[in-house]
């Protein structure tokens, strides 16, 4: 293996603590050198050798750092990614990559001009439920697909404490830009660019300025309909993945354990990491030639966000194609921005 990629985090809030630092610190392809902590200095409690800079400029002026993870508030992603690229760093940008298609295209073009990689972090491609659904679809057991429905729901009646997500004048705000990138990327990574789409949003929470509900209807060739839905006032449990084909159906709850495990301090090197407990299996119902239905449990695939960082390593060191492509992100932003 080539030399580890020296990496810095732009923030050590929830995303830095849960979704990035554990992977960069345990993957032999990386060295976690520094983080920006403007107020409380917490990273050193877990990573005693880490450097805690007071601001982004100091982080970007560290000549040893090759890769910057842009995990600041979403409305700053474009601005901070531009600064990092101009400082000579590769970037891994949290979702949403930017607020508009034009901005994200500028980021990729700037990366090309500077000879730096622009990569977008889409971790939900590696959730256990999505990996299980993908495997069932690719097995062909459902036959020609008719409909797929993916959901990510919450019940959070109170407005969030992160005001940038709740203010209509802030770019990349609301639930559409928060959970929309996950669901759109799930669909795009499986089915590609839709022929057309319809977007519906709503505002239901008291005092909310921004959408807290959305539905996308994506229309694909061969009459495949894909529905992506999320709401912040959904009290009942709904399946995360429902796929119907001519030969059967697959239903799976969204019960990935990675975020909860990481939040409790489990590292991705733990053998139990990403393994859903028994009882969370999906269910595949197929219809035989005698018209008899057969339902069987489908064991959940192991969730594994480490695959993202393996891909980042091979993209930077071996110039491999990052799995979340420029086209994927442009299609996503077109639908977010609509």
Q: Which parts of 146-282 fold into alpha helices (H)?
A: 174-178, 180-191, 258-263
Q: What pLDDT shows up at residue 185?
A: 98
What is the token pair recorded at 156?
């959070």
Q: What pLDDT shows up at residue 1?
A: 62
Per-residue pLDDT of 72-105, as tens digits, reads: 999 999 999 999 999 999 999 999 999 999 999 9
Strand pairing class (213-220; 196-202): antiparallel
Query: What pTM value is reported for the model?
Result: 0.95
What are the phi and psi torsion angles at 41 (to 5°)?
-100, 95
Strand pairing class (241-245; 248-252): antiparallel
The residues spanned by each domain of the chain are 5-122+307-319, 124-305
- What are the pLDDT tens digits along the chain (338 aa)? 689 999 999 999 999 999 999 999 999 999 999 999 998 899 999 999 999 999 999 999 999 999 999 999 999 999 999 999 999 999 999 999 999 999 999 999 999 999 999 999 999 999 999 999 999 999 999 999 999 999 999 999 999 887 778 888 899 999 999 999 999 999 999 999 999 999 999 999 999 999 999 999 999 999 999 999 999 999 999 999 999 999 999 999 999 999 999 999 999 999 999 999 999 999 999 998 888 999 999 999 999 999 999 999 999 999 999 999 999 999 999 999 99
CA angle 30, 35, 39 (to 5 degrees): 160
> What would the DSSP string read from start to end of 185-198?
HHHHHHH-S-SEEE
Q: What pLDDT shows up at residue 273?
A: 98
Q: What kind of architecture, by CATH, is found in domain 5-122+307-319? A: 3-Layer(aba) Sandwich (3.40)
Give the fold, CATH level 3, of 124-305. Dihydrodipicolinate Reductase; domain 2 (3.30.360)
Q: At 30, which helix (H) or strand (E)?
A: strand 30-36
Helix 180-191 to helix 326-337 angle (10° resolution) is 130
Per-residue pLDDT of 203-225, as tens digits, reads: 999 999 999 999 999 999 999 99
Q: What pLDDT shows up at residue 160?
A: 83
What are the phi and psi torsion angles at 90 (to 5°)?
-70, 155
């Amino acid at each position: 293996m080539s030399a580890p990629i020296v990496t810095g985090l732009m923030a050590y809030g929830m995303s830095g603590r849960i979704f990035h630092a554990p992977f960069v610190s345990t993957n032999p392809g990386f060295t976690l050198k520094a983080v920006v902590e403007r107020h409380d200095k917490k990273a050193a409690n877990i990573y005693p050798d880490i450097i805690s800079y007071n601001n982004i400029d100091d982080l970007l002026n560290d000549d040893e750092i090759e890769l910057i993870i842009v995990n600041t508030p979403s409305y700053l992603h474009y601005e901070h990614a531009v600064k990092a690229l101009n400082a000579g760093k590769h970037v891994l940008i949290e979702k949403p990559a930017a607020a508009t298609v034009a901005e994200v295209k500028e980021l990729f073009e700037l990366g090309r001009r500077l000879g730096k990689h622009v990569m977008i972090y889409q971790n939900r491609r590696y959730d256990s439920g999505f990996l299980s659904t993908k495997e069932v679809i690719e097995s062909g057991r459902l036959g020609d697909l008719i409909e797929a429905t993916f959901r990510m729901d919450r019940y959070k009646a109170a407005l969030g404490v992160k005001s940038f997500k709740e203010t209509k004048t802030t770019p990349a705000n609301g639930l559409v830009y928060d959970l929309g990138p996950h669901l759109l990327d799930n669909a795009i990574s499986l089915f590609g660019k839709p022929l057309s789409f319809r977007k519906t949003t709503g505002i239901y929470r008291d005092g909310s300025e921004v959408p807290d509900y959305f539905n996308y209807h994506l229309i694909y060739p061969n009459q495949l309909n894909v529905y992506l839905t999320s709401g912040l006032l959904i009290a009942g449990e709904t399946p995360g993945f429902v796929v119907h084909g001519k030969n059967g159906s697959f239903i799976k709850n969204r019960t990935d354990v990675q975020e909860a495990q990481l939040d409790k301090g489990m590292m991705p090197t733990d053998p139990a990491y990403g393994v859903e407990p028994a009882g969370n299996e999906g269910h595949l119902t197929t219809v035989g030639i005698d018209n008899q239905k057969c339902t069987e449990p489908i064991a959940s695939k192991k969730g594994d966000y480490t695959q993202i960082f393996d891909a980042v390593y091979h993209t930077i060191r071996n110039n491999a194609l990052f799995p979340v492509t420029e086209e994927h992100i442009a299609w996503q932003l077109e639908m977010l921005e609509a």
